[in-house]
Chains A and B, each alone.
Chain A
Amino acid sequence: MKNTEKYLPVIPVLVAYAALLAYGVLIPGKWQIASQLAFYCALGQAFNLFMGMTGYVDFGYVAFLGVGSYGMALPIYHLSDKGLGLWLIVIGIFLAAVFSFILSLAVGAVALRLRGAYFAIATIGVNEGFRFLIEGARIWNGSEGLLFFLHMRTAFGKQTATAISNYWADGMVFAVAIVAAIMTLIYMRNKVGYALTALREDEDAAKVMGINVTKYKITAFITSAVLAGILGATAWSLKYSYVYPSDVFEIHYTVEAIINVLLGGAGTLLGPLVGGIIYGVSKYFLAIILPGFQLLIFAPVIIAIIVLFPEGTVGMLKKKVIGTPLEKYII
């Protein structure tokens, strides 16, 4: 396959995100919905990079968003009066990436030696463990969290601070979603992706083929975690100007990540995008029709998908387009 042809599937991804962005920008009053959908897509894209490609479930995934949000919150909270201006955001994103990198390395070094169920068991406590470490050892203000609404104003000025919360934070969520999708495609088209496919299908056979499975699992785990960290930094810290440990380590975000990936199709490129939008839209309408019932409705949906359509929307679509010109674009 030629290089250009290899990366053709990026087109529908870019088109979809551009359409979503246009919908939010051009139609008055729709920006919040569009950015919320982008958040679900980004969450799914980032989560899919690990869960979809390796077949391992990380129940503590939200911990990476959590530490990422601290990575952004801390410099703004502590350095707002240093006159760093927008550099603070750069530092924040950098710190978010570093925090989530370190946490994923630490967790991965232990948990990724384990297989399947044992891996899941090891990860189920990560978010809680980290939350209680912050609260228990009173790190980063402990259970009181960090509130930096005023610090944002000091650092960036009132108008810019508002614009950051209302627009730029969301814009960056779009960016994370697109970067995550592109990373997924790059992985898929390179050795990493083939190694991950192999180990997802049959870990022993993969080892015998010369694949250092631990190395590739860690690669996917860290990439996925760092993207989550940056997502937490932008979608939560920058947007809301506060971080509470009880909020940012909330396991429901892991549930949402799982739903987004499964609805769309685990291990596909377009899946999390499609899944994120289906989930986001239905959640939005459910909130109007049956407020408070979203999770009660979505949890059985997960089970139904696993039992009845384990391939997800895009997985089924992929099968349909085999042999048609669309085949090159949909993965």
Chain B
Amino acid sequence: MSLLRCENVTKRFGGLVAVDDVTFEIKHGEIMAIVGPNGAGKTTMFNLINGVFPADEGKIWFEDMDVTDFPAYKRAHLGMGRTFQIPRPFSSATVQENIAIGAMFGASGSETSTDMAMEMADHYIDLIGLKEHRDKPAGGLTPIEKKLVEIARALAMKPKLLLMDEAMAGMNPKDIDEMVVFIKHIRDTEGIAIVAMVEHIMRAVAGLAERVIVMHQGALLVDEPTQKALTDPRVIEVYLGKPPEDEHA
């Protein structure tokens, strides 16, 4: 059984086809990356998977349940977590409260009281190493700390699938390497599938993902194991471009 299956998913905005007939699967516990140049439709794909807006065509299955028409919050209850490209913590709430909100309303939210959620939050605060910031409003943190809080908040939802939108944008190489180790660690300890959208930081893709999906102009170009995907000539063309003179050859 696959964890998530997208079947012929299409999304249009006005005349623009943002996601064009895309089909792929995500297995339990795997780390997959979606890459592609700007405007390839990756963020739209993310938004379709977790229900920020509905697909125009096609079906989305989560653990063999048809979730195509589910709103975002219901998909979260089923076990989809998400982080944003530019971190969006709840600024006025403390770090602990931010993470507790994930626990309260996520996959096991209905059985989690606020007190339990606060305790669970402490566990994740330890995990991301922000103990000294526990009672500070999240709005005052540095961007990287915000990112960590967002990841912890998503983890506290107990997701089966964690969608990370450019988790490493704006980080320096050292932070990226640490983040790669951290993401692998949480996959191993929490046993969740992770889909990271890291379209530009190839160093992270290569170090992190087991499988890569390359999108280009809304369509799925390549779906292969990482090494194979990154050496695929079509991928290199999408990234490096084809020299103009090749057109005449």
Q: Chain A interface (Cβ within 8 Å of chain B)?
A: 1, 189-191, 194-195, 197-198, 200-202, 204-213, 267
List, in ascending order, chain B residues with CB within 8 A of A191's CB: 104-105, 114
Q: Considering the chains assembled together, what is the distance between the CA atoms of A194 and B114 in angstroms?
A: 9
A201→B157 contact, CB < 8 A: no
Q: Considering the chains assembled together, what is the distance between the CA atoms of A200 and B153 in angstroms?
A: 17
If A191-B114, A204-B52, A207-B52 touch, whether A198 touches B90 (CB-CB below 8 Å) is yes
B157→A197 contact, CB < 8 A: no
**Chief secondary structure at chain B's binding surface:** helix
B76→A208 contact, CB < 8 A: yes
A210→B107 contact, CB < 8 A: yes
CB distance from B229 to the nearest CB of A (A): 28
A201→B52 contact, CB < 8 A: no
Encode B59-82 as 1/0 by CB contact (under 8 A) with A.
000000000000111001100001
B91→A208 contact, CB < 8 A: no
Going nearest first, the 6 A-B pairs with the smallest beta carbon separation are A210-B76, A201-B90, A210-B105, A207-B72, A205-B88, A208-B82
B118→A198 contact, CB < 8 A: no
Give the contacting residue for A208; candidates B50, B93, B114; CB below 8 A.
Answer: B50
List, in ascending order, chain A residues with CB within 8 A of B77's CB: 210
Q: Considering the chains assembled together, what is the distance between the CA atoms of A211 and B103 in angstroms?
A: 11
B76→A202 contact, CB < 8 A: no
Would you give 15 A-B contacts (Cβ < 8 Å), ordered by A?
A197-B92, A197-B93, A197-B101, A200-B92, A201-B89, A201-B90, A201-B93, A202-B88, A202-B90, A204-B88, A205-B84, A205-B89, A206-B90, A208-B72, A210-B157
Q: Considering the chains assembled together, what is the distance between the CA atoms of A201 and B157 in angstroms?
A: 18
If A197-B90, A202-B90 touch, whether A208 touches B115 (CB-CB below 8 Å) is no
A209→B114 contact, CB < 8 A: no
Residue count of chain B within 8 Å CB distance of chain A: 29
CB distance from B109 to the nearest CB of A (A): 6
B73→A207 contact, CB < 8 A: yes
B115→A209 contact, CB < 8 A: no
Does B100 interact with chain A (Cβ within 8 Å)?
A: yes
If A194-B114, A198-B101 touch, whether A205 touches B90 (CB-CB below 8 Å) is yes
If A195-B105, A197-B97 touch, whether A209 touches B153 (CB-CB below 8 Å) is yes
Closest A residue to B84 using CB positions: A205
List, in ascending order, chain B residues with CB within 8 A of A190's CB: 114
CB distance from A83 to the nearest CB of B (A): 48
If A210-B76, A210-B77 touch, whether A194 touches B52 (CB-CB below 8 Å) is no
Interface hits, B96-139 → A, CB 8 Å: 97, 100-102, 104-107, 109, 114-115, 118
